[in-house]
Amino acid sequence: MKKLLLCLGMAFPMLILSAQDAALSKTSRFSFNLSVEAGYSGVKSEVTGGSTTMFGHDENSTIEEVRPGYAVGMSGSYQLGRHWDLELGLNYGAWRAHGKGEFTLYDLTGLAVQYSREHHIVRQDLLRIPLQMRFYFGRPERRTRLFISFGGQAAYITGQHNFSHSIYGILGQDPNESFYSFSGDLAAEYYGIQRWQWSLLGGIGIQMDRVSLSIQRTWALGNTYEGEYTLLRYYPDFCGEHGQDNVFCGYSVNQFLQNSLRFAYRLF
């Protein structure tokens, strides 16, 4: 009797493992995917202020807005078990952010005597290497399964480009309007620019046979003024008219936050 119980005890975990292998054998543990990703990057915020003197008062505001972005790439997955996948990817794309600043100076009569309006769009070109885990709900044999994903990614900034439109005016004079664009010198040692950026990555999605559709979000890791690595949002500093002299604000070179919809197709 003891030998029978011992044999059954040894056979039980083997049956479980063989059942898992049978479920995994329906599809290869390895898979290769092509993906397209589109969404919005940057943050939304608004800061207003002003001051009053004996000669009048001024008002100013700085507004940050999101802009559309995209990425295309490929990834490879390895099935760790009935519910877990490990995915390593490589993708390249362009992400944008928009900022605008307004300043108005009023005299004692409330007449605007000086003003400025600036609009800046920043495009950031990124090569990203995401590594993430996926947890699938439901049985492996189901054609449609929900999943959650989490992990991190390394991003290499290949370029950052500023496009600006500025208007300056003084009472009694014609306004000065300018359009310009420039690319930041990402090799400038003076600003301590870091080409490699790091971020956390998470999302939720659905797998339907070979097709997956997911919503993803990144939380950027960047280097602050104090030199500490911390979670941060992207606060643009566009340097205003200094851009015409290719003076680049290094502390604004942080990976943009990204909220995106990702479509992937499994080739095999």
Write the pLDDT tens digit of every residue in 195-239. Answer: 888 889 999 999 999 999 999 999 876 544 444 433 333 434 444
Share of the chain above pLDDT 90, in %: 44
- How many domains does the chain fold into? 1
Q: Is residue 114 part of a domain?
A: yes
What is the rounded distance in angstroms from the CA atom of residue 232 to the CA atom of residue 219? 8
What mean pLDDT, rounded, does the chain reach?
79
Q: Is residue 117 part of a domain?
A: yes
Q: What is the pLDDT of residue 140?
A: 85
Q: Is residue 8 part of a domain?
A: no
Q: In the predicted model, is pLDDT for residue 23 greater than 70?
A: no
Instruction: Dump pLDDT digits (tens) for 115-145.
Output: 999 888 888 899 999 999 999 999 888 889 9
Q: Is residue 21 part of a domain?
A: no
Q: Is residue 17 part of a domain?
A: no
Q: Is residue 126 part of a domain?
A: yes
Instruction: Dump pLDDT digits (tens) for 77-111.
Output: 999 999 999 999 999 999 988 888 889 999 988 89
Enclosing domain of residue 165: 31-266
- pLDDT higher for 161 or 205? 205
Q: Is residue 12 part of a domain?
A: no
Q: Is residue 5 part of a domain?
A: no
Q: What is the pLDDT of residue 216?
A: 96
